[in-house]
A and B are shown apart, each in its own frame.
Chain A
Amino acid sequence: MARPPLIILFVAIVVSLVSVFAAFIIAPSSACRDFNAGIITYDNHQQLSVALARTTVEHQQGLSGCSSLPPGQGMYFIFLVKTDISFWMKDMKIPIDIVWLSDNKVIGITSAVPPPTSPQAVLPLYPAPAPVDAVLEIGAGEAQKLNIHQGSTLEISY
């Protein structure tokens, strides 16, 4: 048998290292979240495409670190049980509207919540008006533009 060409293993090691390195650099920064994970249909059959936050880690991450949120997109938080919850804007870079939902109905909207002015700033809490089982985050001013108001019906499919 010919002498094994160690160059193949060497290339494999280089590929691994490059891929691991790239995973650290690209994975967190690319397109921030997957905004095609779910579709929200609301009054008059209008639609929004949303990223989903289902797990504790996803809830904590939310839209942190995202530097833009195009119109028509948002993040949908799903809670297993109705929860009296407060959101904060840790590591957020963009202002948002927080739409509070219970049984697919909008029970309140906290509009134009600003991102923290500096990483060290004391973070204000934004409480839900009543226990919620889902929360929708969209760009600031979008709720009014899209005519999402208290009592609107929002249904998610994913």
Chain B
Amino acid sequence: MFYNLFDPTPLTQLHIIIAGTSFILVYLSLAIMLKQPTRFLRVVPAHHAVYFAGFVLVAVIALIAFVSIESKPLRFGLLSAAFLTLLIGLYDEQYSLSPRAQLIWQIMIATIVVLWGWRISYISQPSANGIIYLDQFTLGPLVWPASFLTIAWLLLIMNAINWLDGIDGLAAAVGVIALSTLSLLTLLPSVQDSRTLTLSLLGAGAVLGFLVWNFPPARVFLGTSGSWFLGLYIGLVAIMNGGKIVTTLLVLAIPVVDLFFVIIQRLFTGRHPWLGDKTSHLHYRLVRVGLCPRTVVIVAIIISLLLGVGALTLQTRQKIIAFIASVVMLSLISVELIWHARRS
């Protein structure tokens, strides 16, 4: 079935070289960094030295993407957002920003990429084989409603990935699967999108290089810079050439559902929705009922892979149904775990 599914015409040697280079660059940079222990970016409360190394991922992806994106405004948008994410992320890793300050900076980063021209101009219409255009009219450099939906989309994915980054390897593993699914999606006969393929393969290679060191027990953490940028990058690759929104949402069902669940839970218990804790998230609850972090990551990988296969084989309408089904299933698991916590 899969043999006939893809048409590899857009795939060139250059794509393989880019993916391989990004993997090797991230992997080797981290290996070298870990060989020469420094105090720089060391996570203090750890048994063995663990480092915040998101900056390696940001630097490698942003620089290779900068040379491979053809459009000048888009590449400058990505570069300035990456640089800003790096600064704010490194600051937060060392000195902790307040949740409100984090949100304001995220809005700033998303707005900058949108001002440089990144936007979701159209999405496919689920009820018919048509297209819904999101470019209705321009407001200065912004386009209504495309630019505003794009900002909301980027904030959603950035926060979903950031909040998922609570267990070693989880966010990076889901990130690799999301970017690999987007790569395969571009090889479908109906898509054939060489530009998105370049960016998604580059990202998948780099994040895989990171995952080797981030898999439990982790030697490096994504930190704020890494997880914000990973989310931002997945969000941008998904909108590079026409919306691949539903596909991306389906692969990222675990973090996205968890994001909403945690917000609802915190609102119900009268807490600030953006204030972090070590209990609300699905992955923390799974660890509390006795799963080891490695098992949680492997389970998340299996679920995401299944969702990825669904994203590649289903039509838009079926994808929406699959997304709703996974929302219901993940919600049931979350509710069950919350009750379990209450009972014990």
On whether A1 and B95 interact (CB within 8 A), knowing A15-B83, A56-B133, the answer reads: yes
Stretch from B23-31, B50-58, B137-145, B175-183 at the A interface: B137-145
Interface assignment of B87: CB less than 8 Å from any CB of chain A = yes
Q: Check B91 against A4 for contact (C-beta < 8 Å).
A: yes
On whether A54 and B94 interact (CB within 8 A), knowing A34-B71, A36-B70, the answer reads: no
Interface assignment of B320: CB less than 8 Å from any CB of chain A = no
In whole angstroms, what is the CA distance A126 to B80 when docked? 42
Q: Interface digits, B46-70 against A, CB 8 Å rule (1 contact, 0 not)?
A: 0000000000000000000000001
User: B70, B73, B131, B135: which contacts A58 (Cβ < 8 A)?
Assistant: B135
Q: Check A23 against B77 for contact (C-beta < 8 Å).
A: yes
Stretch from B116-124, B303-311, B330-338 at the A interface: B116-124
Q: Check A15 against B80 for contact (C-beta < 8 Å).
A: yes
**What residue in chain B is nearest A28 (Cβ atoms)?**
B141
Q: Check B130 against A55 for contact (C-beta < 8 Å).
A: no
On whether A19 and B90 interact (CB within 8 A), knowing A55-B121, A56-B133, A57-B137, the answer reads: no
Q: Check B135 against A8 for contact (C-beta < 8 Å).
A: no
Interface assignment of B271: CB less than 8 Å from any CB of chain A = no
Q: Check B135 against A24 for contact (C-beta < 8 Å).
A: no
Q: Check A56 against B136 for contact (C-beta < 8 Å).
A: yes
Q: Check B122 against A55 for contact (C-beta < 8 Å).
A: yes
Q: Check B76 against A57 for contact (C-beta < 8 Å).
A: no
On whether A8 and B91 interact (CB within 8 A), knowing A36-B70, A55-B135, A57-B137, the answer reads: yes
Q: Check A27 against B84 for contact (C-beta < 8 Å).
A: no
In whole angstroms, what is the CA distance A55 to B80 when docked? 27
On whether A23 and B135 interact (CB within 8 A), knowing A4-B91, A12-B91, A12-B105, the answer reads: no
**What residue in chain A is nearest B81 (Cβ atoms)?**
A19
In whole angstroms, what is the CA distance A57 to B119 when docked? 13
Considering only residues 20-36 of chain A, those with a C-beta below 8 Å from chain B are 20, 22-24, 26-28, 30-31, 34, 36
Dominant secondary structure of chain A at its interface with chain B: helix
Q: Check B115 against A20 for contact (C-beta < 8 Å).
A: yes
**What residue in chain A is nearest B122 (Cβ atoms)?**
A55
In whole angstroms, what is the CA distance A31 to B90 when docked? 34
Considering only residues 81-126 of chain B, those with a C-beta below 8 Å from chain A are 83-84, 87-88, 90-91, 94-95, 105, 108, 111-112, 115-117, 121-122
Q: Check A4 against B95 for contact (C-beta < 8 Å).
A: yes
Q: Check A57 against B73 for contact (C-beta < 8 Å).
A: no
Interface assignment of B272: CB less than 8 Å from any CB of chain A = no
Q: Interface digits, A91-134 against B, CB 8 Å rule (1 contact, 0 not)?
A: 00000000000000000000000000000000000000000000
Q: Interface digits, B130-161 against A, CB 8 Å rule (1 contact, 0 not)?
A: 11011111100101000000000000000000
**What residue in chain A is nearest B97 (Cβ atoms)?**
A9
User: A16, A27, A56, A80: which contacts B135 (Cβ < 8 A)?
Assistant: A56
User: A19, A58, A80: which contacts B84 (Cβ < 8 A)?
Assistant: A19
In whole angstroms, what is the CA distance A28 to B88 when docked? 28
* Minimum Cβ distance to chain B for residue A127 (Å): 24
Q: Check A54 against B95 for contact (C-beta < 8 Å).
A: no
In whole angstroms, what is the CA distance A16 to B90 when docked? 16
Q: Which residues of B contact A24 (CB under 8 A)?
A: 115, 141
On whether A54 and B84 interact (CB within 8 A), knowing A8-B90, A20-B115, A27-B115, the answer reads: no
Q: Check A30 against B80 for contact (C-beta < 8 Å).
A: no
**What residue in chain A is nearest B193 (Cβ atoms)?**
A158
User: A1, A16, A28, A56: which contacts B108 (Cβ < 8 A)?
Assistant: A16
Q: Check B94 against A4 for contact (C-beta < 8 Å).
A: yes
In whole angstroms, what is the CA distance A138 to B141 when docked? 26
In whole angstroms, what is the CA distance A34 to B121 when docked? 15
On whether A58 and B121 interact (CB within 8 A), knowing A23-B73, A23-B115, the answer reads: yes
Q: Check A22 against B76 for contact (C-beta < 8 Å).
A: yes
Interface assignment of B288: CB less than 8 Å from any CB of chain A = no
Q: Check B143 against A57 for contact (C-beta < 8 Å).
A: yes
User: B72, B84, B133: which contacts A12 (Cβ < 8 A)?
Assistant: B84
* Minimum Cβ distance to chain B for residue A61 (Å): 8
In whole angstroms, what is the CA distance A19 to B88 when docked? 15
Instruction: Jot down 23 A-B pairs with beta carbons below 8 A, ordered by A.
Output: A4-B91, A9-B91, A11-B87, A16-B108, A16-B112, A19-B76, A20-B112, A20-B115, A22-B76, A22-B80, A23-B76, A23-B77, A23-B116, A23-B141, A26-B76, A27-B76, A54-B122, A54-B133, A55-B122, A55-B133, A55-B134, A57-B121, A57-B138
List the 4 shortest-distance A-B pairs measured between CB atoms, nearest first. A55-B135, A57-B135, A19-B80, A23-B115
Knowing that A12-B84, A23-B77, A80-B131 touch, tell me 6 more A-B residue pairs with CB under 8 angstroms. A8-B87, A26-B73, A27-B117, A27-B141, A36-B70, A58-B135
